[in-house]
Amino acid sequence: SAVISQKPSRDICQRGTSLTIQCQVDSQVTMMFWYRQQPGQSLTLIATANQGSEATYESGFVIDKFPISRPNLTFSTLTVSNMSPEDSSIYLCSVATQNIQYFGAGTRLSVL
């Protein structure tokens, strides 16, 4: 299994600002994923982040809005840029190990 720590656990932000979410894993993993869960909705994959390469974004998500860093095999960040109220969601990171994905507790973001 994998233990994933996400920071911050929640935040309230003003529109037009940016927030960087950190994801730390207790073991080295190749693939990390970032998901968004809008209120009352299911999870939607934002991007896949592999160490040493550019993140791969899903349709509807762009790097300018959601830049991702993956500096090593245990850490990644997701930035939500130029936020609007529509960005209010839970953002979760996950890692894949031994054919299973494990999730962090998520970051609950509210944009005013």
Residue 108, Cβ density class (10 Å: 0-12 exposed, 13-18 middle, ≥19 buried): middle
Taking the CA atoms of 48, 52, 66 and 8 in sequence, report the sign of the dihedral they define: positive
The binding track of 21-50 with respect to other proteins, each residue x by CB under 8 A or -, is ---------xx-x-------xxx-x--x--
Residues 61-90 that bind other proteins (CB under 8 A): none
In this complex, which beta carbon is closest to other proteins, that of residue 82 or of residue 101?
Answer: 101
Contact flag: residue 13 with other proteins (CB under 8 A): no
Instruction: Show the beta-strand stretches assigned E in the chain.
Output: 4-7, 10-13, 19-25, 31-37, 43-50, 56-57, 68-72, 75-80, 89-97, 100-103, 107-111
CB of 82 to other proteins, least distance (A): 26
Least gap, CB of 65 to other proteins (angstroms): 19
Interface ranges with other proteins (CB under 8 A): 6, 30-31, 33, 41-43, 45, 48, 58, 92, 94, 96, 99-106
